[in-house]
Amino acid sequence: MLLEKFLDTISRVFPSDVLAGREMALSKLNPDKIYVETVRSVLGVSHDFAVRICETAVRQGFFRRGIEVLCPNGSAVAAVEKETDIPAIVHCLGEHGEDDEVSTDSLKKITFYSINEQSSSIL
């Protein structure tokens, strides 16, 4: 059911000529973590166009925007809705398997999108 809502949401936002023949690839996306690079790759569009598509979906209430904080090893350590919600310190696995406290100021942050459950109920 969520997959159908996800594809419905995508089809409302993306131009139909961009979607042609890409339904299978879109169905493999995780509706809880939609990354700009994945959208760019699946749809074969530029990074800027993929950002515009995702941001349009946010403005129209179909997507929610989130921020993911990555440890130095690339693993996601936190996911929040607003930058002000990012914790100051997180625990990351160190090079030798030890648990390190790391300031989030020094960590990479990635914007991701997810289906807005509230809007999907009207689809």
Strands 108-115 and 99-103: unpaired
Is 10 exposed, middle or buried, given 0-12, 13-18 or 19+ CB atoms closer than 10 A? buried
Q: Domain limits of the chain? A: 2-61+115-120, 66-112
Which residues, listed in sequence order, are joined to residue 64 by a DSSP beta bridge?
A: 114
Residue length of the chain: 123
Predicted pLDDT of residue 122: 46
More confident residue, 115 or 121: 115
Span 81-100, mean pLDDT?
90
Q: How confident is the model at residue 30 (pLDDT cuts 50, 70, 90)?
A: confident
**Percent share of the chain, pLDDT over 90:** 45
- pTM score, two decimals? 0.75
